[in-house]
Amino acid sequence: MQAPVRLTSAHLKYVILTITLLFSLILMGLNQREKLQLAKAGSLAFIPAQRLLFYLVRMGEIYEENRRLRLANTRLSLEVERMRGLKEENQRLRRMLEFRERAPLQLVPAEVVGRGPERATHSLIIDGGKDEGIKMNQPVISADGLVGRVIKVMGKRSTVLLLLDPDCKASSLVERSKVYSIMECDGGRCYLKGVPLYADVQGGDEVVTSGWGEIFPPGLKLGTVKKISSARADLLKGVEVEPAVDFTSLKEVFILQGESE
């Protein structure tokens, strides 16, 4: 009677190993919606604790940044005054020409409070969520260009999937020659997919979003063409793109919330 119990306890490590591996495989087999729901529950306890520690670790850096931002703020205030005068002049001229002013896109600023710690994860945690009106799939940008899209929204924080992730594709346009394609990254490098062999694409060409997809509006900078490869037998060009954004040094981003009224 005791034999099976002894066997289980002697092999407990193998039993636990099998259970955890099976459980991991089951998790992998879930669909994206189920994975997102589970992820919300899983990160519920982890994110607040991580956020607190993150601020403690970054305290010194935040102090220095604060000093630098105060200085920049003073400079920018002077610049804003100058721009205000220019805007008034611009508005007056527009009215005179009976142009309808295009409504600017509404930007919600957010601070990066967490970063995927592993080589295989391409995401950020930002300090903004439902309370700030952030919604799923809203584009996230920085001053340099497109950063990614929101994939998980909680009360006061959200997860942003970076452009580097294979699940974050963007319809793109080579600005100079108006060649349309899809920009896709494989976790390390980014490529333009489906560019015909005859298409006019050269190294150094700027690539922006085309606005053809449902998520990203047109004109957001994606990057610059870095390398082109084409074998004679191929029908398509291999176009590698250097992303415009340095994803390793992002500290603040903006969420695009459509056009304001």
136 binds another protein (CB under 8 A): no
Does 12 help bind another protein (rule: CB under 8 A)?
Answer: yes
39 binds another protein (CB under 8 A): yes
Interacting residue with another protein among 47, 208, 222, 239 (CB under 8 A): 47
Q: Is 149 in the site for another protein (CB under 8 A)?
A: no
Q: Which of 7, 27, 62, 93 binds another protein (CB under 8 A)?
A: 27
Q: How many CA atoms lie within 13 A of 55 on its CB side?
A: 7
Candidates 76-84, 101-109, 115-123, 127-135: pick the segment binding another protein (CB under 8 A).
Answer: 115-123
Interface pick for another protein out of 1, 3, 5, 25 (rule CB under 8 A): 25
Q: Length of the chain, please? A: 261
Q: Which residue number, 14 or 99, has a Cβ lying nearer to another protein?
A: 14
For the CB of residue 259, give the shortest distance to another protein in the complex, in Å: 29
- Among 7, 58, 135, 203, indicate the residue that binds another protein (CB under 8 A): 58
Q: How far apart are CA 166 and CA 164, in angstroms?
A: 7
Minimum distance of another protein from residue 117's CB (angstroms): 4
CB of 241 to another protein, least distance (A): 15
- The DSSP code sequence of the chain is --HHHHHHHHTHHHHHHHHHHHHHHHHHTS-HHHHHHHHHHHTTTHHHHHHHHHHHHTHHHHHHHHHHHHHHHHHHHHHHHHHHHHHHHHHHHHHHHTPPPPPPEEEEEEEEEEE--STT--EEEES--GGGT--TT-EEEETTEEEEEEEEE-SS-EEEEETTSTT--EEEEETTTTEEEEEEE-SS-EEEEEEETTS---TT-EEEE-S-SSSSPTT-EEEEEEEEE--TT-SEEEEEEEESS-GGG--EEEEEEEE--
Q: Which two tokens stand for residue 54?
A: 């993150």
Q: Does 5 bind another protein (CB under 8 A)?
A: no
Q: How far apart are CA 83 and CA 159, in angstroms?
A: 34
Q: Which of 7, 10, 21, 231 binds another protein (CB under 8 A)?
A: 21
According to CB under 8 A, which residues from 193 to 232 bind another protein? none
Do the beta carbons of residue 232 and residue 83 sit within 8 Å? no
| Least Cβ distance, residue 2 to another protein (angstroms) | 21
Min CB(61)–another protein separation in Å: 8
Q: Does 7 bind another protein (CB under 8 A)?
A: no
Distance in Å, CB of 18 to another protein, minimum: 10
Give me the residues that bind another protein (CB under 8 A), please: 12-13, 16-17, 20-21, 23-30, 32, 35-36, 38-43, 46-47, 49-50, 53-54, 57-58, 61, 114-123, 125, 151-152, 159, 161, 165-167, 184, 186-189, 248
